[in-house]
Structure 1
């Protein structure tokens, strides 16, 4: 029987100083049937020189996007998906590290369960990666099922799904791709969309992904209130709400979550746009407008009560 193959799709831009460690973590996988497609997004550093020794292993492929693709990681991921030849897909950032047992463990789950994806846990590190983190790796077989019933937990980040913490069965993706116009929160929108079409998977209680934190990341820029990143988060929220409304998956608590979220995006007019795409009746719309207008007062009272309790 032919061994299944994983397509690792790695967008990169000016990561010459970090990408070697990432590629080494791919090379060190105990599961050997993979291809690693490195899609360069017009890097201006010496990325190609750094990865050249890795290309001696034919499983590594270096490419750039043809004309007609937008700049950015999402378009690079989509192009990598189009040219991939594996049975499974793993989107991997060019500055992160994965545990050597990642692929072996996850692929085994696909053979014992009828699932479309396998999610695992992540942790973060700063500066240089310490191999001792692998020694702290905790192995057990605890897992839980993820389907449309968990979509609310995915949306409110109670069940976070990160780009690099999931391996997908390629045929299950059904041609769905990242929104290449989103410059932040693209995984939030994309994975919610995939779950909404009926994909099912498991989450295993194993730390396999070690995500590098540094000032050059989108998350750092969002936390620093970069207008581009904040606007992208708003656009991603609108796309999620519209998709769930179309699929009749927009329940009360999800509506409430997005209405509350929009309070932090006042200058971006998020609330009015959210209400417009929710497909509400006239009276329901009026109720949410009232809820939104009294929300600041309710939050103020809630904080005041918490202070009183502390005293």
Structure 2
């Protein structure tokens, strides 16, 4: 058995995927497999990857064609093919430090953890303009603590920055929701945490991954349609946690806090872009969500969010409109 299975959905990335494959080939740690799943690419991505594997004689790389629907279906297919004790999910257009797999594995083993979480670099338009640091948060945590960190934005829900014991996804049938179109990583991660409420999770402050950000992604441009799907995802996720996990109200509180904080980030981004009408629209959506779900939130979170939205952000919106 290999130690690590690396699962990579690919879709129309023929022009960039070779760089990632070379980063994986150059890893200092060698006992891993790479499971690539082509999701209906029309640019020859499958052929590019297949030819690279054959030309470079990389027997631990294998590419499949999947007739599923999107990244979640591809990941589920990848999990069904993976054989490693640990699993890592990465994106097909990102960059890896040569010691990434070595240090991912070293830390999850040394801390006897079920999940290890790492910071990462953010690359926009070919330039690394942000490097995350978890120096304040290094240490061991429970499932509930990590769920709370995710809900208030202290940790991003990016699966590529984590390594998991593969059994966590298999033991209680935690699959990715193949019908979801927003926040797939967050939805799957929170369900996994809720179903395994006694996990040992370590946060480590080593940056080993560079994420090439999509400027049209949900955090950058949350459309009205995405807000609708976000609200639907949150309600369904809260229901799933309640029905399947049967745990305390805290995980459900975290899910509703997450939506509110995501809307807040869009209010702030619209203000930075001087689009004050859009900022006000996001704020109104926030208020609607708060009135609907506010009673489910912890008291300290209600106080903080109320002050921030109704006073601080509203002043900025009003000031911008007047100028």
Q: Which interval holds the TM-score relative to the shorter structure?
A: 0.7 to 0.9
Is 2:140 the counterpart of 1:145?
Answer: yes
User: Structure 1 residues 270, 242: closer, same or farther in 2, change over 3 A?
Assistant: farther
The C-alpha deviation readout for 1:19-66, integer Å capped at 9, x for no partner, is 111111111111101111110011000213322123431111111125
Which structure 2 residues correspond to residues 1-311 of structure 1 after superposition, within 5 A?
Answer: 4-51=2-49, 52-55=51-54, 56-66=57-67, 69=68, 71-128=69-126, 143-147=138-142, 148-173=144-169, 174=171, 175-197=173-195, 198=197, 199-215=199-215, 218-219=217-218, 223-245=220-242, 246-250=246-250, 254=254, 257=257, 260=260, 264=282, 271=289, 275=293, 299-303=309-313
User: Structure 1 residues 306, 64: closer, same or farther in 2, change over 3 A?
Assistant: closer
The C-alpha deviation readout for 1:230-253, integer Å capped at 9, x for no partner, is 333223322343345542133797
The C-alpha deviation readout for 1:140-182, integer Å capped at 9, x for no partner, is 9x83113223321111211223121111111122231111111
2:272 match: none
RMSD over equivalenced CA pairs, Å: 3.8
User: Structure 1 residues 63, 241: closer, same or farther in 2, change over 3 A?
Assistant: same
Deviation at 1:128, TM superposition (A): 4.1
Match of 1:223, SS state, is coil
Q: Which runs of 4+ in 1 moved over 6 A?
A: 267-270, 295-298, 304-307
Q: Which runs of 5+ in 1 are unaligned?
A: 279-283
Match of 2:205, SS state, is strand
Structure 1 length-normalised TM:
0.75
Counterparts of 1:306 and 1:273 in 2: how far apart (Å)?
22
Contact 1:9 1:91 in 2 (8 A): yes
Counterparts of 1:47 and 1:97 in 2: how far apart (Å)?
18
Counterparts of 1:196 and 1:50 in 2: how far apart (Å)?
39
User: Structure 1 residues 189, 137: closer, same or farther in 2, change over 3 A?
Assistant: closer
Q: Which runs of 5+ in 2 are unaligned?
A: 265-281, 318-323
